[in-house]
């Protein structure tokens, strides 16, 4: 059903419009509930002791937000900041919230994306469905002087001094409709309220409804190396062109991962799991034990405990313009 919905959202299956009479009332209900939630939570939003930068999206599914977060943290550090991160911690099951994620946190307590971010950046990171509460803890218990919110564009209880919306340049905003008939969490008009719209990749369409609403910034997510789950060994990307691989993926937009492998001349058999899937050894029982496995870094954090010697993940990096990072830093310095 998810594959059919995505095909309909992004204009690849016209049969989706046959569901309009059924889904239209649900879409209107979603809009009404979202407006009430925004009104109730935004009324209680108050500035924090440190500036807050929210990095999120208005579409469901993966857009490349996580690698951008890593690049923003490193870019701000290079410009004299001491960032901290807050995240909802989707799928995390700690004993209590807020929860401070460390490099050694169990993935079931921290969640896959927060643990990956903590290991990639080394900065303080707190998860809590109440992101404001997480941000308060960062302000009070760490030396961070700027807070980055991983996702949370729709979490209006958290005050924000600047906003970045990340879009998949190949998908854009799809059919422009709100959930469930379309892929949008909020109206495309929301783009005119953010500080920047970051386009991940090369636009595959004219992006009507996007380009005239907010300053656009391009981003390219590029593979950098293969990393072994069991040993941490790195290998050149050229290894992917050698022999047959088995590609495992449990992210919001698996097609982007598989496209990256194809661009590297990798011949592979694909296995797709749901986003944030909690991997277990049984998920790999049907694979050929003689062939190497490649997966995303997000999936790797959940598989490292039982990884085999020939399991690898594809390390990636978000490349953005240095002048834009200067602009982000300046906006935050002038926020208060």
Looking up tokens 């690849």, which residue turns up? 12
Residue 226 and residue 201: Cα distance in Å, rounded? 21
Residue 101 and residue 223: Cα distance in Å, rounded? 26
Residue 171 and residue 122: Cα distance in Å, rounded? 32
Residue 176 and residue 182: Cα distance in Å, rounded? 6
Q: Does 63 show up as a binding residue in the annotation? A: yes
Residues 6 or more apart whose CB falls under 8 angstroms from that of 69 comprise 55, 85, 117, 121, 148, 150
Q: Does 91 show up as a binding residue in the annotation? A: no
Q: Does 208 show up as a binding residue in the annotation? A: no
Q: Does 11 show up as a binding residue in the annotation? A: no
Q: Does 64 show up as a binding residue in the annotation? A: yes
Residue 251 and residue 264: Cα distance in Å, rounded? 20
Q: Does 62 show up as a binding residue in the annotation? A: yes
Q: Are 270 and 245 in contact (CB under 8 A)?
A: no
Q: Does 12 show up as a binding residue in the annotation? A: no
Q: Does 126 show up as a binding residue in the annotation? A: no
Binding-site positions: 59-66
Binding-site positions for ATP: 59-66
């Amino acid at each position: 059903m998810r594959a059919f919905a995505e095909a309909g959202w992004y204009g690849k299956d016209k049969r989706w419009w046959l569901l309009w009479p059924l889904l239209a009332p649900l879409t209107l209900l979603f809009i009404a509930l979202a407006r009430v939630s925004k009104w109730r939570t935004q009324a209680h939003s108050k500035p924090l002791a440190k500036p807050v930068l929210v990095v999120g999206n208005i579409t469901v599914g993966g857009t490349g937000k996580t690698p951008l977060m890593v690049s923003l943290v490193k870019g701000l550090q290079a410009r004299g900041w001491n960032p901290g991160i807050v995240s909802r911690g989707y799928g995390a099951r700690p004993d209590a919230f807020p929860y401070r994620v460390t490099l050694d946190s169990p993935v079931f307590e921290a969640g896959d994306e927060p643990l990956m971010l903590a290991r990639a950046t080394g900065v303080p990171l707190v998860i809590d469905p109440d992101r404001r509460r997480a941000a308060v803890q960062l302000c009070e218990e760490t030396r961070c002087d700027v807070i980055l919110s991983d996702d949370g564009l729709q979490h209006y209880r958290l005050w924000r001094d600047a906003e970045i919306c990340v879009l998949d340049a190949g998908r854009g905003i799809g059919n422009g409709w709100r959930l469930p008939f379309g892929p949008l969490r909020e109206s495309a008009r929301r783009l005119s309220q953010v500080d920047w719209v970051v386009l991940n990749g090369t636009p595959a369409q004219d992006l009507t409804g996007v380009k005239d609403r907010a300053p656009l910034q391009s981003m390219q997510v590029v593979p950098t190396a293969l990393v072994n789950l069991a040993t941490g060994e790195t290998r050149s990307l050229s290894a992917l062109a050698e022999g047959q691989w088995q590609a495992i993926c449990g992210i919001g937009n698996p097609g982007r991962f598989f496209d990256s492998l194809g661009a590297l001349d990798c011949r592979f058999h694909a296995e797709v799991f749901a986003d944030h899937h909690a991997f277990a050894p049984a998920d790999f029982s049907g694979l050929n034990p003689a062939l190497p496995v490649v997966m995303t870094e997000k999936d790797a954090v959940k598989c490292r405990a039982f990884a085999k010697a020939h399991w690898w993940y594809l390390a990636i990096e978000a490349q953005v313009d240095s002048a834009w990072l200067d602009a982000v830093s300046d906006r935050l310095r002038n926020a208060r």
